Structure 1
Amino acid sequence: MAVAPYNVTFSAASPVFTYTPFRDGDLLNGWNATAIGSLWPTGTAYRCTQAASATLAFNFYGTSLRMCVLPSIGYGVNIDNTPYPWISSQSGACSSYPGEIMITFDGLHATEHTVALTSGASPDSEFCFLGATTTMAVNGGGTVVEKPIDDQDPSWIFQPGRGSNAWDSHTEQVGAGHSNDSETFDCIYTPDHVASLNFSGASGLVLWGAHRVTYEFYTITLNEETFRLDASDPLPQDRYALFARGGLDPKQNYTLSIQNWNDDKPCEDHMFPCCMTIDDVVLLSVTGDKTSASGTSTATETQPTTTDDPRATDPPPRSHKNKNLPAILGGTLGGAAVLIFLGLLAHILWTRRKRGPRDTLSIASLDDGHVSPWQQTWGHVIPSPVAHQRARSDASLSMREREDVVPAQLHNAGRPAEAASVLSQGWSVVPPSYRT
């Protein structure tokens, strides 16, 4: 089957990587989390170790792999339990890191691969891993099309629901990179809290999320496949890839489930809660396929046929030959005569009206200190200037008389008098949106 390439970059903090003997801790005995470009707790996260034979492993479905490392010692890489030749360089996908080496593996079969990297670190030299970019194999020939399913999309099914003590949401700062500037999270560590998405027509997917300086142990299920992940990290991540899968059958229905629970990881021993954060899922399809990615419970998304030709909805054309021409001409001439008669009658009535008393059309003076009546012109009601000015004066007076019911903080904030008047008449103050 033909496949289309799609690159996915995983930072070293991504839960797709399994670090042995541990994910974050003492540098001499395992992997340690740190950051490039800034002081803790911000920057570009990566992992270093000085432990002999420390390893990292991960799975991906694709045709090529690029790993970014900072080696001062030797290392080895196995793909599918076999040493695999690679090309190393200091350019390409890893060029943003200082002193990096990019390890490139090309020509892999479009299938599932298991990658294991072993460092030769020692107490005198360390090995650092920065992340990896995989070329995912998306079934179908053509160009890959992305269909994002935001965390606020109604296609998601949350158990036990949305809200406090369940799957909650909040808005991120604009420009932080989140889809729709929002994320959905759950910090109740239980197998009963599950987020699910039913979809079809996709040949691959990427799950994006965030990390909020907590312990994160969760389980992802894609139909019958289960993946237990550990995303624990001392560094926050605004948006990064949590999970990816290629080689999906666009004709098959899938259910992606995310459970804030991992059977292998207890949470009660930690000082922070165990949370899971979802940003969005990007469904991947290929142009030219008869199916398209659909993040709903239906089988395949179908689009109605449309056209820009206005003739598409016109009735069938009629014959230009007309046998009733004399009757049509007679009716037209009769109608013209009626219109001429009505016009003469209107002219006579208007002339008589102009000869009547003109003082019935006068209005009160705008300078006599009285409120002028409303004038009606061509069917639209227009308040006179004096009436409008008097209404504003009355509203200001009303506000001063009832000033004691207006919250004092509104005056301190420099609110205009009109706004305070409105609030004093029974409007409620909307609390600020939820922010972290």
Structure 2
Amino acid sequence: MSLTYQPYNLSLPSYSPVFNYSPYRDGTASLGWNSSYTATPVDDVCNGQFGLGYWRGLGTAFRTTSYFGASVSLDFTGDWTFTVDGQSFTTHGAADDPACGMYGAFATTMMAADNLTLQEHHATLQSADLSSSPLDFYGATVTISAGEPGPKKAEIVDDTDLQWRYEGSWTSETDDSYMWNGEYQSANGYASNTLASYTFQGVSAVILRGLSMCNYGPYTVTLGNQTASFNASDRYWRHAQTVLYFASGLDSNQSYTISLINYDSNYPDPTPLAPCTSLNAAVDTLTLVMDDTASRDALLATISAPPPPTSSAVSPSTIIVAAVLGGILLVMLGLNIFLLALWRRLKAGTQAGRYVEPSPLLPTPWASTAQPGSPSPETSSVPARSSVASTPHIRAVQSGIKYGSAQNRTAAEVRPLPVIPAIQHGEVVPQQQDIQSNSPLSTHQLRTPVAPEMLGDLVTNLSTVLNGHLRQEYLQREGLDGPPEYRDG
């Protein structure tokens, strides 16, 4: 078969009427062929153990012959001469082809012919030397053309389909559960005007199935301008859904009509096989192999569709990396928010512990209280109340405290200091004091409060004043003299 066509495999059992057995298909094996099964030999039927002509065999069906020169056309097993298109082949070995594997261990493939052109072929199996053993034929698997390459589908047309046209006398039978849907049409009367026909289009191959048994005999099938004759008789067994006819390589653009006629002009007055008394023909199903247009159109759309941009394709690994990086960024963002909140909280606590000037600020007058020989021309009187200091006025010198006798009050000179807010041991309250000075108040300028950035110097000076006052009080209480005072040269 040409490789430009879609292959379609069709299995044909030995009892299919498409096989032509010679000299006859049912009879004594020594003079022709007879049918049998691997689990129910034909001898059991002939001995009356089963109902002749109505029994279903068990196992795999085959036909056997021991007659020299017996032949069957199509496909075969055993010692034989195989003729394809008139050319003879002789073989005793098995070809490497699994087409007949469905027949089990009883059959082996003797030969396979491939690469045949798309046209009619005729194959013949003929028995040779059968002195050692008979020739058993199990069937064949043929590869037919299903049209142009592409997706295919098989549509099954039942015998009750309204497009079937039955002429003559036909009966709807329901006595065989192995038939499609358990029913089939059976022709009554062997005549050329008893026929069933069906018209179709858009099909590449057809398969007609029916019944084979003792009361079914010669019939004719027409398809277009082709005509073929077959014989569906079987003296011993009943075979349901057997292949009555098949054709391939049809033009899907052309309309065809297939007809099954219960008549063969080559046998105008045949005799039914005993014990049957009539010659009938059966229609079970018609299988139409055609293009699967839905699948084909979907496939073509997929092929013709432009590929998506490369940039839009996101691989799973990229998604995973993006998710990991996103998670890390979220963690870092949360950590930054936490640190920012912690920093603001610490900053608020630090500012709460800092010195804050009272508002409004009151100006503090500064007066000169310089003593002769003192190192500073400016002094300040700092009024205060404290639970730890009994002296109302404290004066400290920037360069240090000068110690004198216990009876003398230490004169201290300080830098100008702002008003002191309340501290843990007491409250420093500004008081209006008279400034004792030989010079008028107008000769002294009023100092503005120290800015907050001078808080460090303020705390240092305050500590110096308090320490000096406490030490002076201690010396007075103990009656001690302070350390000697040293002066330069």
The CA distance in 2 between the partners of 1:269 and 1:216, in whole Å, is: 9
Q: Does 1:127 align with 2:135?
A: yes
Q: Which moved more, 1:188-197 or 1:210-219?
A: 210-219
Deviations 1:380-412 (A, max 9, x none): xxxxxxxxxxxxxxxxxxxxxxxxxxxxxxxxx
Counterpart for residue 104 of structure 2: 97
Shift of 1:121: 4.1
1:221 aligns with 2:226: no
The answer to whether the Cα contact below 8 Å between 2:184 and 2:283 also exists between their aligned partners in 1 is yes
**Aligned position for 2:207:** 206
Tell me, in whole angstroms, the C-alpha distance in 2 between the residues paired with 1:179 and 1:187. Answer: 20
After alignment, is 239-248 or 103-112 more displaced?
103-112
- Aligned twin of 1:42: 56
**Cα RMSD (Å):** 2.6
Aligned residues of 1:141 and 1:286 also touching (Cα < 8 A): no
Which runs of no fewer than 5 residues in structure 1 stay unpaired?
A: 59-66, 161-165, 293-436
Determine the C-alpha separation between the residues in 2 that align with 1:134 and 1:198: 25
The 8 Å contact of residues 9 and 241 in structure 1, kept in 2 or not, is answered as no
Instruction: Flag the structure with higher strand content.
Output: 1
Q: Which residue does 1:170 correspond to in 2?
A: 173
Aligned length: 274
Cα deviation, residue 286, structure 1: 2.1
* Equivalence for 2:433: none
Relative to the length of structure 2, the TM-score reads 0.52
The C-alpha deviation readout for 1:180-235, integer Å capped at 9, x for no partner, is 22211113111111101011110110011122432411010011111111121121
Q: Do the aligned partners of 2:150 and 2:296 also contact (CA within 8 Å) in 1? A: no
Amino acid at match of 2:278: P
Shift of 1:15: 1.1
Name the CA distance, whole Å, in 1 between partners of 2:251 and 2:278: 37
Aligned partner letter, 2:188: C
Deviation at 1:42, TM superposition (A): 2.3
Structure 2 counterpart of 1:53, from 62, 69, 85:
69
2:244 paired residue number: 242
SS across alignment from 1:93: helix
Provide closer, same or farther for how the CA distance between residues 48 and 212 of structure 1 changes in structure 2, counting only shifts above 3 A.
closer
**CA displacement at 1:6 relative to structure 2:** 0.9
Letter in 2 for 1:200: Q
The residue that corresponds to 1:139 in the other structure is 147
For 1:10-409, list aligned pairs within 5 A: 10-38=12-40, 40=45, 41-43=55-57, 44-58=60-74, 67=75, 69=77, 71=78, 74-83=79-88, 87-88=94-95, 93-102=100-109, 103-160=111-168, 166-172=169-175, 174=177, 176=178, 178-234=179-235, 235-267=237-269, 269-270=271-272, 271=274, 272-288=277-293
2:196 counterpart SS class: strand
Q: Could you tell me which amino acid in structure 1 is paired with residue 227 of structure 2?
A: T
Alpha-carbon distance between aligned partners in 2 of 1:173 and 1:55, rounded to the nearest angstrom: 32
Q: Which runs of 4+ in 1 moved over 4 A?
A: 84-87, 89-92, 288-292
Partner of 2:349: none
**The 10-residue stretch of structure 1 (219-228 or 138-147) with the greater mean CA deviation from structure 2:** 138-147
Superposed displacement of residue 81, structure 1: 1.1
Do 1:35 and 1:42's aligned partners in 2 also have CA atoms closer than 8 Å? no
Partner Cα separation in structure 1 for residue 229 and residue 70 of structure 2: 21
Which TM-score applies when normalising by structure 1?
0.58
CA separation of 1:173/1:48 partners in 2, compared to 1, >3 Å: closer, same or farther?
closer
CA distance in 1, matches of 2:10, 2:148: 18
Query: Which residues of structure 2 form unaligned runs of 5+?
Result: 46-54, 298-489
The 1-side partners of 2:264 and 2:162 are apart by: 26
1-side partners of 2:97 and 2:121: how far apart? 25
Deviation at 1:134, TM superposition (A): 0.4
- 2:70 and 2:90 map into 1 onto residues whose CA distance is 20
